[in-house]
């Protein structure tokens, strides 16, 4: 791999990027703030609210004050057989309210974090994983992959793949 990048997007992401990066709010070097010395990063972390409790998330989703949907996307460009190819993988899963309705206190982020982990744990307990020790998921064979994807599918998670060849 020659290049890897991470991006996050939402309607106001440029404003957040300016506020956090442009104003130096993640700088670690202490500065003078009304006679006290603290780093902008420490100040920022003191002001960021804690994650809402499950009870609070239920309240926020039920009242319509919170609306969220997490989507994970992997966009890869490379060469295969001397030809450039583009691979796109992305997730589709329940929105925050749907997740919270299904399991009280859950949200879209906890759903995409915990469901795949729980499916993998169940696969281990059922002896459906043929590997031991520490290993990446890339070593799964077709049967293991099928079991995993069937498991997350049952919980409303889809992984969509699109492959594109150049249009030259």
- Domain extent, residue 113, equals 73-164
For 116-155, write each residue's pLDDT tens digit.
999 999 999 999 999 888 888 889 999 999 999 999 999 9
pTM: 0.71
82 shares its domain with 108:
yes
77 shares its domain with 50:
no
Which secondary-structure segment (H or E) carries 40? helix 40-47
Angstrom distance (rounded) from CA 3 to CA 140:
26
113 shares its domain with 52:
no
Please report whether residue 128 resides in a domain. yes
Please report whether residue 143 resides in a domain. yes
For 28-73, write each residue's pLDDT tens digit.
999 998 999 999 999 888 888 888 899 999 999 999 999 988 888 8
- Split into its structural domains, the chain has a count of 2
């Amino acid at each position: 791999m020659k290049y890897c990048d991470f991006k996050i997007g939402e309607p106001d992401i440029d404003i957040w990027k300016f506020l956090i990066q442009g104003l130096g709010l993640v700088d670690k070097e202490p500065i003078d703030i009304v006679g006290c010395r603290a780093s902008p990063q420490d100040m920022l972390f003191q002001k960021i609210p804690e994650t809402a409790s499950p009870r609070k998330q239920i309240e926020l989703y039920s009242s319509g004050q919170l609306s969220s949907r997490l989507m994970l996307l992997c966009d890869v460009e490379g060469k295969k057989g001397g030809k450039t190819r583009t691979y796109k993988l992305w997730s589709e899963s329940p929105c925050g309210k749907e997740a919270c309705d299904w399991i009280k206190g859950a949200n879209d982020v906890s759903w995409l974090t915990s469901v795949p982990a729980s499916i993998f744990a169940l696969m281990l307990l059922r002896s459906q994983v043929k590997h031991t020790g520490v290993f990446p998921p890339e070593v799964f064979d077709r049967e293991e992959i099928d079991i995993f994807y069937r498991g997350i599918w049952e919980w409303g998670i889809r992984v969509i793949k699109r492959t594109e060849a150049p249009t030259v």
